[in-house]
Amino acid sequence: GAVVSQHPSWVICKSGTSVKIECRSLDFQATTMFWYRQFPKQSLMLMATSNEGSKATYEQGVEKDKFLINHASLTLSTLTVTSAHPEDSSFYICSARRGFEKLFFGSGTQLSVL
């Protein structure tokens, strides 16, 4: 089956630094990628929808200047958490979709901001 690689799996950073998370579709071209945020024992909250070559569409309440999304190719999307603060600590998951087929998920990134 299709594979989506997300890197890093976990990251610890100091408050005020920026962190980049990569999401790659390894064996298919992803026309759309989604970024989610998840707190413990809660559901996945859609942050933004990213289409290759165009600006990401952010959900209401998500700061686009805080969470920078780049989808420069059909196999790579990145999420950069700028000037991270402890409240940004969370589990971030990406997913990739080819056309309107089912979604394939990355394994997630646990971000801890000290």
Partner 1 sequence: TQLLEQSPQFLSIQEGENLTVYCNSSSVFSSLQWYRQEPGEGPVLLVTVVTGGEVKKLKRLTFQFGDARKDSSLHITAAQPGDTGLYLCAGDPGGNQFYFGTGTSLTVIP
Interacting residues toward partner 1 by CB under 8 A: 6, 32, 34, 36, 40-46, 49, 51, 57, 91, 93, 95, 97, 100, 102-103, 105-108, 110
CB nearer to partner 1: give 78 or 95. Answer: 95
Answer whether 8's CB lies under 8 Å from 23's CB. Answer: no
Using the minimum distance from each CB to partner 1, give the nearer residue, 57 or 89.
Answer: 57
Nearer to partner 1, 9 or 15 (CB): 9
Query: Minimum distance between the CB of residue 14 and partner 1, rounded to whole angstroms?
Result: 23
Task: Name, in order, each residue with C-beta under 8 angstroms of 23's C-beta and a sequence gap of 6 or more.
Answer: 4, 5, 6, 33, 35, 76, 77, 78, 79, 94, 96, 106
**Residues 59, 33: contact at Cβ < 8 Å?**
no
Task: Give strand pairing partners of 81.
Answer: 19, 67
Q: Cα–Cα distances in Å, from 25 out to 7, 16, 33, 40, 49?
A: 12, 30, 9, 26, 15
In the complex with partner 1, which residue's Cβ is closer, 63 or 101? 101
> Shortest Cβ distance from residue 10 to partner 1 (Å)?
9
Shortest separation between residue 83's beta carbon and partner 1, angstroms: 26
- Find the shortest distance in angstroms from Cβ 107 to partner 1: 5
